[in-house]
Amino acid sequence: MNYHLIDGKAFSIDAFGGIYAVTQNNFEHQMSLLKDFNIKVASLSDIVDNNVKEEFSVALTFDDGNPSDFDIVFPILLKYGFPATFFLSIQNVEKNGVIWEKYIQMVKKGFDIGSHGIYHKDLSIIEPSEIRTELEQSKLIIERNVNESIRFFSLPYGMYNSKVIKQAKILGFDAILSTQFNFVNPSEKSFVLGRWNIKRNTSIKDFILIIKNHRFTVKKYKYISKVKKYIMDFLGSSLINKVNTLKNRY
């Protein structure tokens, strides 16, 4: 499952119009539910490497490189003993003044770091040379600063095509992660992994149904994800993001 900004205030509008700004209270509640329902929270590496024995498990990922990664998420995950992967957008990290030392501390505690590109570009609509730059340079910058090998890339807006897959494989990534809802079967060795985006309006009821693997809820989210991907392919991700921003300015 995938998060973005965790908001310790009553409400804030981030770059996505606030829809991805999950409140701190909701986030803590969700983590407690994973613990209460005895859901295995595994590292992304263990899931990809098929090192998880449980039939059903979840991996926690966080996109963008927001200050809340360290200020809010880090201590909560330590409290519950949950691993996670943090995907850093270089531009966002620099803009928010997040210092690399904080992520180094997280790595030392066993958390993983991944790449989310340099400028958060939709890789499916740019030239191959730009795709390579976004993938390669972001990987090198992060590896240089945290002194860890970067295995995974989180796709901005969840968008990709065959050129993105080809470049990512050439550059040595073990997997790229979209935002299309899907369950991952490690034995299938898929290179593109789906995720469930946890949003501000994700209800606790739906969260519980998903982690209990409720069939109807799973089908509903898979359908919504496919429709969203179709709309984004047809209209373009930039227009969708503008609509989301306007819709959520309340």
Phi and psi at 133, nearest 5°, equal -60, -45
Phi-psi region of 213 (alpha: psi -120 to 50; beta: other; left: phi over 0): left
The residues spanned by each domain of the chain are: 2-247
CATH superfamily of 2-247: Glycoside hydrolase/deacetylase (3.20.20.370)
Query: What is d(CA 237, CA 243) in angstroms, rounded to the nearest whole number?
Result: 10
d(CA 91, CA 32): 32
Q: What angle do CA 105, 106, 110 make, to 5 degrees?
A: 115
The CA R_g of the chain, rounded to the nearest whole Å, is: 17
Mean pLDDT of the chain: 85
pLDDT digits (tens, 9 = 90+) for 108-125: 999 999 999 999 999 999
For residue 47, what pLDDT is reported?
Answer: 94
Query: What are the DSSP calls for 64-123, one per residue?
Result: E--THIIIIIHHHHHHHT---EEEEPHHHHHHTT--HHHHHHHHHTT-EEEE--SS---G
Bridge-based pairing of strands 57-58 and 40-41 is parallel
pLDDT digits (tens, 9 = 90+) for 59-92: 999 999 999 999 999 999 999 999 999 999 998 8
Cβ-count burial 208-223 (b if 16+ within 10 Å, e if not)? ebbbeeeeebbeebbe
Q: Give the separation between CA 172 and CA 166, rounded to whole angstroms.
A: 10
Question: What pLDDT does 94 receive?
Answer: 77
Mean pLDDT in consecutive groups of 10 residues from the start of the chain, 250 residues: 84 58 94 95 95 91 94 97 97 78 94 96 95 97 95 95 96 95 82 92 89 64 60 55 39
Q: 30-40 in b/e burial notation, b at 16+ Cβ within 10 A?
A: bbeebeeeebe
How far is residue 113's CA from residue 103's CA, in Å, rounded to a whole number?
Answer: 8
pLDDT of residue 250: 31
- What is the C-alpha separation between 7 and 4, in angstroms, rounded? 10
Cα–chain-centroid distance for residue 151? 14
Sign of torsion, CA 151 80 180 211?
positive
